[in-house]
Structure 1
Amino acid sequence: MKNKILTVIVAGVILLTASCKKDYAVDGGKSDENVNMTTYDYLKSKPIFSSLVHLIDRAGLKDAVNQQATFFATTNYGVDEYLKAMKNIRAIELGDENIIYTLDSIPLWRLDSLKTYIFPEKLGRNVLTTKGTFYQSNFGSMTNTRIKLGLARTYSYGAYVDYVDYITYTKVIAGDDSEVLDPSTIPAPEVDKVVWVQSSGIITTNGVVHVLDGFHRLFFNTNNAN
């Protein structure tokens, strides 16, 4: 009986959390996860994804996004933080902190990495497991890097439900950290990058959309953005 109210409880918790955070995209707890539009049109209809849609257009990936696929969407906050970091790098290169750096300044070759958020199959919550599974994105194979999609189980809401499973997108670098007995022994550059999905299972007419945590920076970028 507890699990039947899972969606309602989680939606409420996310909404309460979102009210305190900047630029958070939230699936307002709709009972019907189906949207009668394509993945691209869904993203375009939400202002929170305007920067992402602009980059999809520049990269010519509209058709790829609209295949029978799963797309992990980054919010404007994550794209804008990435843009700030890239501006800082370029400013240092040119020795000019007053340079103008916009979405159109990002090299097209770099935007090809948007394919790492597209998977050529429908991967809803019913497909993913707590153990996690490695999937290959539209970007293809990557040197020393794999992508693992799965569910992270938490018992934090025990007063309401038995447990809550959050979808996770993990960039596995070198070995899988979950298989290491002592994670403290993993060299910093090889620590896996885990992002939780804040809104999951949005069913479009061609695929599935999962919205990544609002603090996920595009392409897992970690450069200084200040």
Structure 2
Amino acid sequence: MNKLFTFITLSILSGVFLGLTSCSKADYLVDGGLHNAKVDMSTYDYLAGHPQGLFDTLIHIIDHFGLKEEINQSETFFAPTNYSIRRYYQSKWNELRAVDENATFSLEQMLETIHVDSLKAYIYPTQRYDLSVASTTYSSITNAGNLPGFACHKQLQPAGQWSFQPIYYLFYVKIRGEVDQVGDDGTVITPEDDFADLRVRCQTQGIETSTGTIINVLANNHLFISDFNEPKEYVEPDWGTVLEYDIAFPYDAGGYTGGSVEIDRDALAAAFGLTVNQVSTLFGSQVLFYGTNSDGTLDPNSTATAPGHWFNVEGNVTTWGATAVLFSEYNASAFSFNIGQYPGQAVKGEEYVIRQSLVYKDDNDDETQVTFRFNVTIE
């Protein structure tokens, strides 16, 4: 079987599994209580043998760089899941498609973008890090790649979220700029005019293997490797003409519910210098539809009912599954969008921003972009 196909398929299957088990008392719930976290297998074998294949792409990367024994002999391993690596893969492919919309990108090509020291940022050869030793203040830690600025700490869960007991979360931290201020309970405050430290919550922590490694599994929304890059000053993307709309609908834990938005077809046509009828006639040939990420990059591939996209909490295009929060699907003949939610994965009271674009390429190959910005409130 093609490795890239396996990689993508298992990510989807893992997403289905996690969705089905998210309300059960499974091992993947973050739990600061007492439990037997020891497994009778090596670190590598535990990752390779995960019954849902949650680390199969990680194992492929470990094998590619020959790090099996280093992983087995480490004291601590912060393990990224397939979801994290899938996000990295998608971001790299999007970079190529921004230049060439027909660009292909294989798993082997992705491996060429990874430096071994970046992978070693997850490996800690000499120290054990889990909730039993973590403090609410930052503890500086040294990884196998000798990459600076890493720390870990724990934070008290706000009372009543799902338990009134004192539950702590373990965080893996990349310090960016000034060190964030940390309160007695581990709550973090970012200094004014500074970048927030990158904090990745461990969805599972303290798994102890037979080779003595502590495995802390990082949250699925972690962006593999790229989260540790130095932040860049934000530059507002060129969105072209922006048509902005507000929509609100109730939180739904069980259904793909939402609402619809009818866009200003006259304003759209005027931005392109076309008639409304021409916009309809040219759709799919000279007027093309894109999902628009928060950094302004365009994704030509539908991930929801075409033409349409799923979006994550950051407003970036994603696939159906664990990272999906909202979808938006375009009806070209009606000049309207159907916008809805992934059951139970939006947060009541939150406002999300998602964007999609139409790009018109005229006979001289000059392009004009219109971006639809949707401010979505979950009531």
Distance 2:80 2:162 in 1: 31
- 1:197 aligned to 2:199? no
Q: Could you say if the C-alpha distance between residues 77 and 141 of structure 1 is closer, same or farther in structure 2, counting changes exceeding 3 Å? A: closer
Partner of 1:4: none
The root-mean-square deviation of aligned C-alpha atoms, in Å, is 3.1
By how many angstroms is 1:214 displaced?
A: 1.2
1:91-170, aligned counterparts within 5 Å? 91-92=97-98, 95-106=99-110, 107=112, 109-120=114-125, 121-142=127-148, 146-157=149-160, 160-170=163-173
2:221 is matched with: 215
Match for 1:194: what amino acid? R
Q: Structure 1 residue 183 and structure 2 residue 186: aligned? A: no
Q: Distance in 1 between matches of 2:27 and 2:82?
A: 9
Amino acid at match of 1:63: E
Unaligned runs of 5+ in 2: 1-17, 230-294, 298-315, 318-379
Q: Is the 8 A contact 2:136 2:182 kept in 1?
A: no
SS of 2:133's equivalent in the other structure is coil
CA distance in 2, matches of 1:90, 1:64: 33
Point out the structure with the larger strand share.
2
CA offset at residue 108 of structure 1?
Answer: 5.8
Task: Read off the aligned partner of 2:192 and give its amino acid letter.
Answer: T
Map 1:58-69; keep pairs closer than 5 Å: 58-69=64-75
Give TM-score scaled by structure 1 length: 0.77
Q: CA deviation at 1:175?
A: 1.6
Identity %: 27
Q: Please, which runs of 5 or more residues in structure 1 have no aligned partner?
A: 1-14
Partner of 1:174: 177
TM-score, structure 2 normalization: 0.48
Deviation at 1:27, TM superposition (A): 6.0
Q: How many residues get paired?
A: 202
Q: Do the aligned partners of 1:58 and 1:108 also contact (CA within 8 Å) in 2?
A: no
1:141 positional shift: 3.6
Distance 1:114 1:18 in 2: 29
**How far apart, in 2, do the equivalents of 1:150 and 1:183 lie?**
15
CA distance 1:83–1:157, shift in 2 (3 Å): same
